[in-house]
Amino acid sequence: MSSILEKFEICDKIPKIQRQEIKLFHVFDDTQGYNILFVTNDNLVYGLGANTYGSLGLGHNREVEEPEIIDILSYRNIRQFINGFAFVLALTGDHMVYGWGHNDWGQLGREPTNDYYTPHRITIKSKQIVQLSCGTSHSLALTVDGEVYGWGRNTWGEIGVDDNICEGIFGSVRVEIPHYHKIMSVYSNNNTSFAITCEGFVYSWGRNDSHQLGHNIPDNYFKPHIIENLYNVQTMCTSTVNTFFLTNNGLLYFCGKYTNEDNVGFAFSPSNIRFYKETFEELGTIGSSSGFGTVVKVKRRYADDIFVVKIIEFKESNYEYMYKIFRELRCLVKIPSEYVVQYYNSWFEHKFLYIQLEYCSHTLKNIIALKGPEFARQQPGEPMKAIEYFISCEIFKELLECVQYLHDLNEGVVLRDLRSDNILIAENGRNGRYIKLSNFGCAIDDDDYDSERIYGSQDFGSLADSGQGGGGSHSVHTNKADIYSVGVIAQELFDMDIHDPNPLQKYLSHELIDNFAKLFKVFVSMMVDVSGQTSTCAQVIGQYYDWSIDKDLPQSCVGRESYDLIAIDMDNTLVKYNLKSTLPLIHSLIQKSLVHNYGYSHEIIEDFCPKYCQKGLVIDKRRGNVLKLNSEFGIMSVRHGFQELSSRSTREVYGGDDVVRDLRTIPDVLCLGTINTTESEGFDYAVLKSYFTSPAAQVFSKCVEVLDITDDNNVSDDNNLRNRYAKIWRDIHSSTCLMYGSGLKHRSGGWNPELMDTPDRYLRKTSDRVIQLLKMWRQSGKHVILITSSDADHTKLLMNYAFGGYHQWIRCFDYVLTFARKPTFFTSDRPFLAIDSGGNTTGEVAVNDLKCGQIYSEGNWRALKALVAKKCSKADPMCLYIGDSFTDDCIVPNKYVDCHTIGVVEELDEDIRQELDPNYWQSFLKDSDNNTTLWYHLLKRHTKLLVPDMDSLANYCQP
């Protein structure tokens, strides 16, 4: 941040020590000079500069020569500043808008009687705002639900409301963009306005005398119009007379006024109007519908790439029809291609919408028809053998995961028309997945809806009577409809009919009778019963290890074949800790750091209690709460301090759409972190990713309790109290980093010195069976690599103790990579660094120069995989990662780099569960009602196998 600030001369007036604390700043000019607004790490807001029209919000319009605090904005967690001509808007962390400065056209959302020198809140129809943009004298606001509001000058139509209103609009009004679009971002400049939809299309309105709006007629546009032939837009910028658009695939488009050596010209349209015919050659029609377009198989000209293009007539006057189109398109754009048919592109051309998609040549219906004969089942009535059953289990699991993922989205997607013939099979799987969903409820017309055709049962209408809808035939379109459909498809897949009087007859003397009996119960649970209660996909996946035979695979999958690269974590994977000793030590070190380094009262000191300690808990930094989430991102339990909130209080605090949206983003934010707790600027939640930071939950709860008791109502407002809670977590987080950062060379306190002095108190020896497993893998030609985020000194200390000496463990690995900084090891391109005998880095090492049996620092997965590919002469070697961190070792490697994973979950061991006292937070895996937790659900989605420890894996692989 400081290097960026140096580019602005006005920042020289900010004291250097204060510059280092700035987390957000905004520089702008007015008629008299430059101004800067900035926010520090403790959420104080300052202003400095010319201050014409009172644009710094300090209560006056005098020039400010040194930073002054803006009291009204401080402690409000400001996320965005944006300015027009001498007026400024600010967006807070609570989605509120404040405005101040020049107000001659009502650009501050109030009558233009005078300028406003202090910030005042702008109320926008009780909506929560996520983005702001300003023109010269008008303002736009984007709401959390994708609506756009505007206020201020409307001379050229820049508010986008009505051509009868050509003056100022002094209160917020909704911009009339069709409801079937959800807006992703808004932009404005001078007298123009733009909105980018979630699908990548652009609407524009306002002044168009230089064609800067991208429309051919050089006139004012008082209402939003879509820019034809422009698509896949990610972001844009606009000036007074021209506009640039950047697409997701890196192309830059232009419209507006331009000059060259000969003349001045105008670009009317930003794109090619014959893109389809010039890009693709049609190979044939796959299908068509009178109500919803034609699907064509195409080949890219001058290449061999095959795609599917869906061509749909654009009927803007038919609102319901357009709503269906853009709902499907939004689903395609936002859903990762590992779950659905891959979306590539979409564009408008001559009043038609074109959607380019992945081509899949097979459907699940084809596979079901071929599967029996391929596995020597000549007749449908013959029982399955183990291999066919296993493959069917994997298909069923992938299908459940795809449907559950769609249901878990913020705008949950109900497929409605799910059948085996619109479930596709990818030719090239991603992350080991091949099942693709291809329909989002828009491929059929409501007028032609036929529940028997879709669900294969006359009985499905009972769902409409189960309280899930408002009655009528269309109320069946709920999550339960999809679950029912998956159940019907699964019966086809396993050749079982639950309505058969004796569905298990052919398996009575079969080796798989127990598996089919459990599967039968699963199918029954997915059907709608009298009370309307069905299992969710997550609940069925949660029983995976009951009905599948995946647990019999490790020997063949991990033993002597399949994988070319096996990477293993160290802490709590290869080297086990004695949690009874380790957790109290961590708890004590964090407490001491808060008292000695951050001035906390000794009142926070208390003995460690294991019942408060569990990995996967979520810290709500600004509310002072600790949460536990279920597989559907709902709240299982929440505590403020040590006090559990009632169900009613929980709904009041966490029932808002913005809170639900934030909770759903936790896994993605967490996967970007680099340490044991996620810390993302502006994000209100942190997650305890492992047992090494789980004692922080007890420390946080105690500090919150002490703060609440000693506050004595001295806090000026709720926002100030929230910032004090957030500071507690920030100090705990810093203390944790300091604790693990104390090296072996510095023996004054910290984590490493304690381990070095008494390792037998905290560590357990690695068994001979695990050591033999590592040697067996290497002897069978696999590349075995130790990858740990611990530094080299710590790694040697632990491994020497656990394996009984340096030479006993170093020979078990091809390479040892320390300080890997997972999870970004898997997504970054950091270089490999050599290490000398003293543990110091000595410079970069090319990946091809890595030497067997050596210890290195940092590095990255992409280069490591390429090295193994070269050594084993395979373009895409099969990779496996084994570790205990649910994000760093399981979710990220599987989700981002196509790596299979095995998760080490201590809680699968009954003794460990009891040792951690599950009665307070209940189990890390499930609650007392058998509801799966979020992290256990994600672990099962992203791992091939879960084991309590490496010894269990060794037992699988070496029976």
Identify whether 737 is part of a domain: yes
Same domain? 790 vs 824: yes
Residue 243 has, within 13 A of its CA and on its CB side, a CA count of: 34
Q: Which of 258, 286, 307 is the last residue of a domain?
A: 258
Same domain? 819 vs 701: no
Interatomic CA distance for residues 802 and 578, integer angstroms: 12
Which residues, 6 or more positions from 699, have their beta carbon under 8 angstroms from its beta carbon?
Answer: 587, 590, 591, 594, 604, 732
| Residue 922 or 694, more confident | 694
Predicted confidence at residue 456, as pLDDT, reads: 27
Q: Which of 753, 780, 799 is the last residue of a domain?
A: 753
3-state secondary structure of 608: coil
- % of the chain at pLDDT higher than 70: 83
- Bridge-based pairing state of the strands 264-267 and 148-153: unpaired
Identify whether 813 is part of a domain: yes
Residue 446 has pLDDT above 70, yes or no: no
Identify whether 353 is part of a domain: no
Same domain? 183 vs 239: yes
pLDDT bin (cut points 50, 70, 90) of residue 320 is confident
Same domain? 381 vs 311: no
Question: pTM (2 decimals)?
Answer: 0.56
Confirm if 64 and 58 have CB atoms less than 8 A apart: yes
Over range 22-45, report the average pLDDT: 90
Confirm if 596 and 605 have CB atoms less than 8 A apart: no
Predicted confidence at residue 441, as pLDDT, reads: 36
Residue 466 has pLDDT above 60, yes or no: no
Predicted confidence at residue 21, as pLDDT, reads: 86
Which residues, 6 or more positions from 138, have their beta carbon under 8 angstroms from its beta carbon?
Answer: 84, 105, 107, 150, 151, 152, 153, 154, 158, 159, 188, 191, 193
Identify whether 225 is part of a domain: yes
> How many distinct structural domains can be found in the chain?
5
pLDDT tens readout for residues 610-636: 888 888 899 998 889 999 988 777 888
Token representation of residue 778: 């290497």
Token representation of residue 572: 């709590």
Residue 15 has pLDDT above 60, yes or no: yes
Share the mean pLDDT of the chain.
Answer: 81
Identify whether 111 is part of a domain: no
3-state secondary structure of 193: strand
CATH of the domain at 770: 3.40.50.1000
Same domain? 844 vs 933: yes
Identify whether 72 is part of a domain: no
Which range, 518-532, 656-670, 940-954, is most confident?
A: 940-954
Same domain? 781 vs 906: yes
Interatomic CA distance for residues 854 and 836, integer angstroms: 10
Predicted confidence at residue 957, as pLDDT, reads: 75
- Bridge-based pairing state of the strands 565-568 and 879-883: parallel
Interatomic CA distance for residues 92 and 719, integer angstroms: 11
Identify whether 70 is part of a domain: no
Predicted confidence at residue 750, as pLDDT, reads: 57
pLDDT tens readout for residues 121-171: 998 887 889 999 999 999 999 998 889 999 999 999 999 887 566 678 888
pLDDT tens readout for residues 200-245: 889 999 999 888 998 888 888 999 998 877 888 889 999 888 899 9
Same domain? 244 vs 280: no
pLDDT tens readout for residues 702-734: 999 998 887 654 544 566 777 888 899 989 988
Predicted confidence at residue 717, as pLDDT, reads: 58
Predicted confidence at residue 63, as pLDDT, reads: 94
Residue 857, Cβ neighbours under 10 Å: how many?
24
Residue 529 has pLDDT above 80, yes or no: no
Same domain? 730 vs 773: no
Which residue shows structure tokens 């709401």?
A: 143
Same domain? 610 vs 682: yes
3-state secondary structure of 64: strand
Same domain? 734 vs 784: no
Same domain? 741 vs 861: no
- Structural domain boundaries enclosing 432: 361-437
Predicted confidence at residue 503, as pLDDT, reads: 85
Confirm if 397 and 541 have CB atoms less than 8 A apart: yes
Identify whether 176 is part of a domain: yes
Predicted confidence at residue 340, as pLDDT, reads: 85
